[in-house]
Amino acid sequence: MKLHILWALLFILVIASFGAGYYLYSKNTKALQETINKQSQDLATLQETYLHELQLVNRALIEYQEGSQSENKELEQLLVRQENQFQSRLADIERKKEISEQLLTTTNQDLAQNIDSLTDKLFALETNSKSQIIQKWDGITVRISCEYKTKDKSFGSGLYLGPESAVNLGAGNEYVILTNSHVLEEEDEVPVLCDIQWDNNETATVFFNQNDGVSKASFFEGFDAAFITLVRSDVPSSVLTDRDSYDICLSPPQIGDEVLVLGYPKIGSTESVTGTEGIISGYDGNFFITSAKISKGNSGGAAIFIQEDCYFGIPTLVKADAVESLGRILDITNIFK
């Protein structure tokens, strides 16, 4: 009896244990299934999210590719347009260069011809200008030949200055000729007379009688300069009317300026003025140094500043060295103070 009761209790215990295990198993299985279902749903939601994002990425990539292609196409078109413009400009430059070279060639040829023509004209103009200056000033440049009591006859040149009031030399008579003192004075001896020869070969004889008060020679102390006073009848009428056109330089020539020396050198003609040209080479005290030839006879003549066509000095003397002779021109500003 007791054995049957024991087996019955054991059976009940087994059945209870089995039921409790089954219950626990069922409960755990349901919870696990719910968990699995939830995870499946979450995975499905995540998958949908990823698929949506993937679609967005694909769409963006497609749009980017389409936009990039469009931009590349526009850039390519822009580059093509710029290249076409560059080629057009390059062609224009080449065309202009060709035209310029043609014009330059033509211009150079014309310029060469014009230079030759202009050189000839300038030379002719310069020659004519100097010739005109000489023709102008030779009218008042005179040849002076003087006779002495004990000395040999001397020759030189002078320049007619007109009425003394025009130059303020303080002359006693109205008309003066400026020259070097060594033209009029030989070893402190004043000439008895001097013949003044004008460019038209008219001649006036001036007597140096210190007692008659008519004509005389005056000397500047400290300078190789002197002047002869004349009377009106000693001056040709043509010279009297033209004197106002002759100017004394207000500004002297500078080194390098061209000058003319006019006079009657011993080696030149005795009937017409001889002109020699040169430049101002430097200064020596009261003198201009010049390359213009000054020889015996044209001392006392006229030194003309070509550019201004004015009288600036008295051709005076020559100093010679081993190479050449350089003339001296006395600056007349030392006299007209």
Per-residue pLDDT band at 255 (split at 50, 70, 90): very high
Q: Tell me what pLDDT residue 82 has.
A: 76
Q: Tell me what pLDDT residue 80 has.
A: 77
Q: Does domain 140-242 bear CATH number 3.30.565.10?
A: no
Q: Tell me what pLDDT residue 261 has.
A: 94
Of residues 251 and 49, more confidently modeled: 251
Question: Each residue of 284-303: pLDDT tens digit?
Answer: 888 999 999 888 888 899 99
- How far is it, in rounded angstroms, from Cα 133 to Cα 136? 5
Question: Each residue of 304-315: pLDDT tens digit?
Answer: 999 888 999 999
Q: Tell me what pLDDT residue 143 has.
A: 93
Per-residue pLDDT band at 279 (split at 50, 70, 90): very high
Q: Tell me what pLDDT residue 139 has.
A: 87
Per-residue pLDDT band at 38 (split at 50, 70, 90): confident
Question: Each residue of 256-275: pLDDT tens digit?
Answer: 999 999 999 877 666 778 88
Q: Mean pLDDT over all residues of the chain? A: 77
Q: Tell me what pLDDT residue 124 has.
A: 47
Same fold, 140-242 and 246-334: yes
Of residues 327 and 142, more confidently modeled: 142
Q: Tell me what pLDDT residue 306 has.
A: 92
Q: Where are the domains of the chain?
A: 140-242, 246-334
256: left (phi over 0), alpha (psi -120 to 50) or beta: left
User: What would the two tokens of residue 278 be?
Assistant: 């040169």
Report in angstroms the alpha-carbon separations of 48 from 53, 86, 174, 249. Answer: 8, 55, 135, 114
| 40 has a pLDDT exceeding 80 | no
Q: Tell me what pLDDT residue 311 has.
A: 92
Report in angstroms the alpha-carbon separations of 18 from 14, 23, 26, 214. Answer: 6, 8, 12, 183
The pTM is what? Answer: 0.59
Q: Tell me what pLDDT residue 101 has.
A: 77
Per-residue pLDDT band at 323 (split at 50, 70, 90): very low
CATH fold, domain 246-334, is Thrombin, subunit H (2.40.10)
Question: Each residue of 195-247: pLDDT tens digit?
Answer: 999 988 888 888 886 555 555 778 888 888 988 888 888 888 877 766 556 78
State the amino acid at position 255 in one-letter form.
I
Of residues 158 and 33, more confidently modeled: 158
| 283 has a pLDDT exceeding 50 | yes
Q: Over the range 75-106, which residues count as b (16 or more CB within 10 Å of their CB) and which as e?
A: eeeeeeeeeeeeeeeeeeeeeeeeeeeeeeee
Q: Tell me what pLDDT residue 11 has.
A: 65
E strand intervals along the chain: 141-147, 154-163, 175-179, 193-197, 203-207, 217-219, 226-230, 258-263, 274-284, 287-290, 302-305, 310-320, 325-331
